[in-house]
Amino acid sequence: MNSVRNTNSFDDKMHTSERSDSTDRERLLVDEEDAHWSGKKSVRSGPGRWLNIIFVVVIAVVSCLVGIFIGHNQGDSDKACTRRITQHSPVVSHVGLNYHKQQFNGSLLKENIFRQDASPEVDAAWESLGANYRSIRVPAEEAEKSGLAPDQVKINEKYGGGYPANVEGFHHLHCLNLLRQSLYYNYDYYHDLGKGAFTNNDYVVRRHVTHCLDIIRQQLMCTVDVGVLGQVWVHPDHPEPFVDFNTEHKCRNFEEIRDWAQRNQLPETVPNDFLQPPKIGDRVFNRGYERFRAQKLEKRTTGDLKEGFFLGRHLPLDDPDGQTRSSSETRVDRYYGAVLSLTIDLMTVIAEIVGLDSDALRRFCTKPIATLHLLHYPPQAPDASELERGIGAHSDFGAITILLQDSVGGSTGLGPDIE
């Protein structure tokens, strides 16, 4: 029993000793661990720690600077591109141009609203693009760098001055919209509607359409897209290559530009003196078609009920005395030439009558002042106002008026003694 107890006592001592040794070893390990981490702490608190911190900070700063530099360079590249290929305009200074990637929808069979047949909904969609936006005002200080000239139309100073002008991109959309309206399956709809460009007769509509066609041609050639169109396979059973029109493009910020142009349109109705009258030296073109009621020779009327086409000598803009001749002379050209020759003969006679050299007045016939007016006066409605005029009372300008009257009465010439 004692031996057992002694053995147990020995075992207890052994276990106690083992536990003590184990505890000592654990303490030693802990002490070593503490010493290890303490050693790390002591290293971190030394110069190495600060070097690490400085290194990390430098890397962070350099990374930020590189990011800023890349972003700044990208912005500078966009600005440089804009300056190089874009005419200055208020859009550049007030909105700015930036670029983004955009996937074109080149679907052949799936139509969006802009491709559908004529309808009020389709018209509204095109209107929402700005196809019929009114002019904006270009401040006088931006006019020259925007490509506007001092001899162009100006806004009266009492209404803020500046120049009325249209953003070209929206004119291009207007032209594209007119081409859509003139498609063979849309033409009758808009012709019968009689709005916009279709308030004019077919001759003028045709000229308007071909003007728009050629403007778009020139724009596409000027800004030719050098991207490439790949091909995809269609018809799995009998594979055929087909052009893939769904390409990615670098596009400008159209929405922002449209919003700005919409907000900055001139008022829909303006006072009669909103535009500054032309001065000597301003560009005035008196050629081509003149719409109904474009002239208002009597202020109390609603305008002259006539339309006309003005013809005259076609001169280079840089040579007012020169004359360019068309390769094909029309009957109207020959008629105008005959009337001009008659004018020169009459001026020669007048010069001789008043005792001047026979060529003294011929110099007045070298400038393209007078034009040949082909005028159309439609019949007036039976219930037309008493103020309805084919042409209001007026005084002719120039040296001589040659009035050829046919058998149908209409024009009445009054002498200086008749009120």
Domain ranges of the chain: 17-81, 91-283
In the chain, which residues have pLDDT < 70?
1-48, 62, 65-85, 281, 284-286, 312-329, 363, 366-371, 396-400, 402-406, 408-419
What's the confidence (pLDDT) of residue 148? 93
Tell me which residue of 130, 82, 88, 156 sits closest to 264, measured CA to CA.
Answer: 130
Ordered DSSP codes for 113-155: GGGSPS-HHHHHHHHHTTTT---EEE-HHHHGGGT--TTS--B
Alpha carbon 78 to its chain centroid, in Å, reads 19
Half-sphere exposure in the Cβ direction for 398 (13 Å, CA): 13
pLDDT value, residue 399: 61
Helix, strand, or coil (residue 382) = coil
pLDDT digits (tens, 9 = 90+) for 321-374: 444 444 446 777 778 778 778 888 888 899 999 999 888 887 677 655 556 778
pLDDT of residue 201: 78
